[in-house]
Structure 1
Amino acid sequence: MKLDVQTLAGKKSGSVDLDDSVFANEPRKDILHRMVRYQLAKRQAGTHQVQERGDVSKTTKRIGRQKGGGTARHGNGSVSQFRGGAKAHGPRVRSHAHDLPKKVRAMALRHALSAKANAKELIIIDDAVAASPKTADLRKQLAGLGVTNGLIVSGNAIEENFAKAASNIPNLDVLPSQGANVYDILKRHTLVLTKQAVADLEARLK
């Protein structure tokens, strides 16, 4: 697959051959769904906790008479029916992460890149470098490329001026090539890759 390479100014700057094994797969929704669930579950904090029976110190004296009271025969004040009692089967501190094979994770990233390429939502630029950290200048350049809601993946590191200029633009994410992931790719409408990012992703996923 061949795509044109553009500059941030919107001018053509050659072309690049994309590896079909990375950018020309038939996207499988089930694989993408599994990967998104894996990422969101892994980032969930899991710090929610309530007091259960063993955490509450209440009277253990029998409440009311055993018979004739007309109510249940409670023998402890820490049950959930009473004020100050414990929560029955409440949430505990735990990890929500689950396993997903490494091959499936790599396949999901290939399918996410292919989905953007198939939908004509992939733009290749020569480099993500800004002359100054001015947000207005970068916003104007991105508007010229047709990017209003997008993810920009640069090379090994994000250039400082570009990162500062992009930080104030809503609906725009910037990641290094090593940080490219399925959830962030699918979350934004347009995927913008630098030539270095294309080379890094192909080397990572071949």
Structure 2
Amino acid sequence: MTKKENKEEWKSLNRLDMWKDYVELKYSKGKCIACGICIQVCPKDAILLNPPAASIRGYILEDPIDLDKEKCVMCGVCVALCPEDAIKVFVDGEERTLIVENNGLPDEFKFEGEIEIEQEKCPKGCNACEDICKEDAIKVDKTVELDTDKCTYCGACVIGCPAEVIHLKRTRIICEEPDTKIMEEVKERLIGEVRLENLIKNVQGNNQQG
């Protein structure tokens, strides 16, 4: 499937220096689609979502996510589940996904799900969902048309819709599923309805801190 081009510019989110080694978490704003999956799966609730409008219409005014370094334990769950590889972990400068290497989470996965769009409530002239979909699964003409063969059920359109009229429910994660506690937690967090209010629960607190 064809993805829209994105520019890779990596910045360090967090770094842990040890006696001999160092572990660093890096993030690419250009690759991030603000889908919120990293926020959903973080076991420490260390990732915060900035206002959704930051990612609308193909350009990003600020980083869609922020990281609470006090909470982050560099576990790599966000790295393993990011559909766009926008977050990476480096150990001594080498890219590693330790939680996958140690069979905690699968190397590849995809979702099945359902999407409902309240067409009658879509704002006229708004193409936000089409603009932010990196899979080219959404086309806006007189109505919003969804290509389910291309849709990955990532949730970016749900977060980016200014009218909140796109409703997504993930029904299944397809992967070679490891029998681990973290995999069970990931399934519990990701399967079900994607609700914007759940993803932005930390935004106001984050803004107050700034």
TM-score scaled by length of structure 1: 0.27
Greater strand share, 1 or 2? 2
Greater helix share, 1 or 2? 1
Which protein has the larger Cα radius of gyration, Structure 1 or Structure 2? 1
TM-score scaled by length of structure 2: 0.26
